[in-house]
Structure 1
């Protein structure tokens, strides 16, 4: 710095003008901004005898990525020292800004002493101190300091912030990216509430740093009083661990762990928990023994190359009700899988294995299937000169049980698809396919819906030809700023199952007829059940689309089964020649409102067989959603449970930084009963947050009784 400033001075006084500015063209060709300085001011004077430069007015010194601004700067060439006074601003390479009244710096602005220092960090947190010493480029020690992330009150700048930390000494180590406090006192609204001789936290440049996360304090009717204090540990740049111990007054200790790691071609997450508690029977009565309970879970995916990847997703628990009791998950069935899959263009291959764990009281472990191998392959060819595409689908499955039916299946399907749009705008598509299925079943049930029916072991097979043509004719017209659409759609389908009628049924036991499967050659969810015969699917799409993005759409449709075997059971809506009517209405006139209504009407008397409503209104800060669903008694014959319930949730901004939120679910069947309810109150500003939340579960499941819990969380930014 000394060498270049001397050159600057020589250049400056050869050009006897003011204000003076020295640029890169005024110095040597080997000038390097990263190593040398730029010096500018309104007036610059040079004392040759004392080798001292004095700059006054809008002084700016640029040293690499570090910039110093002040009203007056004196530079001593002999001592290589800068003394700056008045409105000092020092911009650091890491982004924070230092403000001071007087500063003395040496060693290219890297070391020195500062009086009345104020620091603005990159996250807008602030630190002020009476004095500071810059020991080196990476270390600054401050005396009698105050730190806070809270903004000052607009009405009274001298008022104490919501919270602040006062410390006798503060050290900022930029190399370690750590801020350390000695003899610190935490104050709320100027009132001391906590003293600690030492604590530290990462500076704002850190994305991940080991430390305690926000604690949760709660009161639960099942667990009693309790507290969870998570600790986040950064193992390295590519892995971390979160340890969450919980202590409760009724059930003792509980420990949860979460491990995350990124590798070169993927990432994975593992989590689990464990506790040692009193053993209870199915009625919740203690047996006098103790036992371990817990869960494990993991998910990960890894690329083998640009086409192939492998992964896993597993979830298991030691007890059916454990996840519910400790509020880990409300699933009633856990699925685990491992797979290898490849995706290239439109072609897809996947080899996977599955296990299942049922958590309902009626689930029988021996009857729960295990899938050691499931191969899925899908090929879609390039379009021909006429636009047609060929396809090939292969499905091979092995499914075993320790008690009950084992199934082996191989299915191969070849298809041909031809789309066409006429000059008048009519849209047609022709599809033809031929599928062959081969089964080998051990202990096959004669009635898949009745586990007590007779069993047998045998090979079975079938061939399924299918042909369909779909036609639609969209009519669109402009009416002012609204585009109106009417689109009739008609689809004719024929398919037949040639061969055995006693093939196993593993993946098509339940069925639901609605707007999503009105059109298609097979409405069953899986491959085992096949829709047969000749039928016509038809409907009409109505649409109104505004210039600002709002829209209203309506789909109404029905199916007519004209000939052949109808395999749909009572309550499905498709068991008669003329199916039930299905409809879907969507209304979204503005971004802040959306309404969706799905219904199924009985073809004979127009009675509602299924009714589903979803509504959402509001902004990100204030919103309310409402849901309602009803499945009638008759539809349960199709493998679905009778259901009628209402669900609502929402959030309301009460004032600046204050909001309330809640949710409620109620079962309306058999006189009605509440299922669960949540209500919370939250405060969150730029530096502080807390929330209090109450939950009530009305569910009774073996040793899980209806319970109430109240939790409290607090956050001090940036500490957590």
Structure 2
């Protein structure tokens, strides 16, 4: 063992360590750290030649080289290394070679029998490599693959054979000349020139994974995405798609995505432009969103949804939206106050709606503030709300426009008395002003002052059982009175509400300003919960609302009449199973609504199951009973095979409205995704079938995003 202290020799040997690495070379002058040389024998001849022989190892700044013999000739300024040579750089780079002759400045040299392994994925083998200008590594007669080869002479699943490969260390790209892509040794494609980024590059310009797709509408085609980074904080992706149907008609689509991050926010846009031979002309869509932090703790948001025609999104399955919106909003939250404002335009794609007769422009603003004054117990809430919407039509009734302002003031408090009884109460006042134009059925200007009060009580009772199990039982009751709402107006924004455990207790279930739930009512609820230290829990909630008069809710909400339906909710969480079931049950025992959601995760299996049933209700735009079940699952059979399945079935028509099946096969160097789908674009239309194929070569052009699998070789 010898330690060579000479600074100049240290730099030469350190430079040798990086001379074999692709994308890792450093100038010789940069190697100022200590270099350790270990060998069976070290000889210095005539003060100009250093020879190390027998189990030569060199260590320098995280690099480790092994060789059989190393010779440094100071007069010729050359380094000569005899192999087998192994150089490791961290965990991601291994270089193997038979021999090397290099200049000490690393700008020139020849490496024989070189093999480079990058990122534990990509292998590049060459008969020889030449080092040029300290930047380029020129490899000849090369074979590149990310597949594992277990025995000599074995053909990898795929590989690229090229006459010449040039690696540019500064640009971090690998250039292939006269390249053949081979599968199991059989040439399937030839490219006179191509380039890919090195595996450590995550944002490089170039082609992404292509896909082959087939659809009944446009036929079969190829999608070829191309990624363009625009600096460190923005990028643009183009995805040309060309398809041909059995009749020879073509469909040309250019899909685009743009993203940019700023110091105070970010934006994103996606869209597509399509031309086909089916006399549709030029079609397209553009969706976008963004958020920015403004001064004074204010956030600005915007959203854009544009499309050329009603069927484009569903034809090409870009989105399931049937109402599009463009919005601009502000949000400011400081301490106990909150302000938000939004301006929205709407565009309906539904066959049964007309953009002239629905509100296409709407504006909302709201300010909320809470105080806890020292002279009063409890809290004081203030809300100032404004809303307005406009229709394009000028006809009386169908072109109705409205504007409304509301002031809301509430005082409330919660105390505990006696044996743990929770008492609550509040007083409130709602002041409304409404302006209605282009509808002679209603007064143009109306005002109202609506008082309200509530008292409530609950008694949470806890108990501990064996093995650390705990129980909670809590009966709850609330009496609410709201004065008569004296404004007579159409209902444009207070759609029929949902009835669930979240609003079982409370004043108002209408979501908008056009309706107020007035009159006297009693809200009753009972909650029971079991908590186990083993990690599972069960919760049950029961409740009902009793009124003095009918509040005008439709039957499908479960709130109609003087007595609501019975609300029951079950929440179960045990192991990998989560279940939530909400049911609204009428007095005769029939279901008005039943919603269930089940999620199950266990090892390689994940399942989401949903079910909904709701009775016919014209006020909810349901001209018949609604029954639907959805299934979304994935399962990994082993390290190679996995599958996904999505189903959506209409239980009333007994028709599967959407079905998607995907199967993936993957090993250490390739992933193949095959998918098939069946869907209905709209009610009454026939099914559309689509198929897709995507092949990903791990380690090439995907920024190392391919999942690294365990090697097949023992």
Q: Shorter-chain-normalised TM-score: which range?
A: 0.7 to 0.9
What is the aligned-residue RMSD (CA, Å)?
Answer: 3.1
For 1:516, the equivalent position in structure 2 comes to 502
Residue 226 of structure 1 aligns to a residue whose secondary structure is strand
For 2:707, the equivalent position in structure 1 comes to none
Change (3 A) 1:491 1:33: farther
Change (3 A) 1:81 1:556: farther
CA distance in 2, matches of 1:476, 1:107: 80
Change (3 A) 1:654 1:63: closer
**What is the TM-score when the length of structure 2 is the normalising length?**
0.86
Residue 247 of structure 1 aligns to a residue whose secondary structure is strand
Among candidates 647, 650, 658, match of residue 664 of structure 1 = 647
Change (3 A) 1:57 1:406: farther
CA distance in 2, matches of 1:636, 1:157: 73
**8 Å Cα contact 2:549/2:562 also seen in 1:** no
**What is the TM-score when the length of structure 1 is the normalising length?**
0.85
Structure 1: stretches of 5+ with no match in the other structure:
11-31, 280-288, 445-453
Q: Residues 531-590 of structure 1: CA distance to partner in whole angstroms, max 9, x if unpaired? A: 1223222222222223232222221111222x4663434443233333211111122211
For 2:701, the equivalent position in structure 1 comes to 719
CA distance in 1, matches of 2:381, 2:488: 28
For 2:284, the equivalent position in structure 1 comes to 294
For 1:355, the equivalent position in structure 2 comes to 345
For 2:610, the equivalent position in structure 1 comes to 627
Among candidates 506, 530, 533, match of residue 519 of structure 2 = 533
For 2:251, the equivalent position in structure 1 comes to 252
Change (3 A) 1:229 1:490: same
Residue 519 of structure 1 aligns to a residue whose secondary structure is coil
For 2:661, the equivalent position in structure 1 comes to 679
Among candidates 117, 122, 125, match of residue 125 of structure 1 = 122
For 2:264, the equivalent position in structure 1 comes to 265
Q: How many residues align?
A: 670
Among candidates 551, 562, 575, match of residue 566 of structure 1 = 551
Residue 230 of structure 2 aligns to a residue whose secondary structure is strand
CA distance in 1, matches of 2:333, 2:153: 63
**8 Å Cα contact 1:215/1:229 also seen in 2:** yes
For 2:441, the equivalent position in structure 1 comes to 455
**8 Å Cα contact 2:110/2:131 also seen in 1:** yes
Please list, as runs of the form range in 1=range in 2, the aligned pairs for 1:344-383 lying within 5 A after superposition. 344-381=334-371
**8 Å Cα contact 1:483/1:546 also seen in 2:** yes
**8 Å Cα contact 2:584/2:592 also seen in 1:** yes
For 1:185, the equivalent position in structure 2 comes to 180
Say if 2:634 is the partner of 1:651: yes
**8 Å Cα contact 2:173/2:196 also seen in 1:** yes
Residue 313 of structure 2 aligns to a residue whose secondary structure is helix
Residue 505 of structure 1 aligns to a residue whose secondary structure is coil
**8 Å Cα contact 2:550/2:561 also seen in 1:** no
Say if 2:436 is the partner of 1:441: yes
**8 Å Cα contact 2:648/2:659 also seen in 1:** yes
Among candidates 156, 165, 170, match of residue 161 of structure 1 = 156
For 1:323, the equivalent position in structure 2 comes to 313
Cα distance, 1:328 vs structure 2 = 0.8
Cα distance, 1:108 vs structure 2 = 6.4
**8 Å Cα contact 1:439/1:459 also seen in 2:** yes
Among candidates 540, 545, 548, match of residue 531 of structure 2 = 545
Residue 314 of structure 2 aligns to a residue whose secondary structure is helix
CA distance in 1, matches of 2:423, 2:65: 72
Residue 151 of structure 1 aligns to a residue whose secondary structure is coil
Cα distance, 1:207 vs structure 2 = 1.2
Cα distance, 1:175 vs structure 2 = 0.4
**8 Å Cα contact 2:323/2:349 also seen in 1:** yes
Change (3 A) 1:532 1:657: same
**8 Å Cα contact 2:106/2:131 also seen in 1:** no
**8 Å Cα contact 2:442/2:488 also seen in 1:** no
CA distance in 2, matches of 1:158, 1:530: 81
Change (3 A) 1:605 1:435: same
**8 Å Cα contact 1:677/1:697 also seen in 2:** yes
Q: Which has the higher contact order (CA 8 A, sep 6+)?
A: 2
Change (3 A) 1:146 1:367: same
Among candidates 541, 547, 553, match of residue 555 of structure 1 = 541
**8 Å Cα contact 1:41/1:56 also seen in 2:** no
**8 Å Cα contact 2:477/2:525 also seen in 1:** no
Cα distance, 1:396 vs structure 2 = 1.1
**8 Å Cα contact 1:470/1:489 also seen in 2:** no
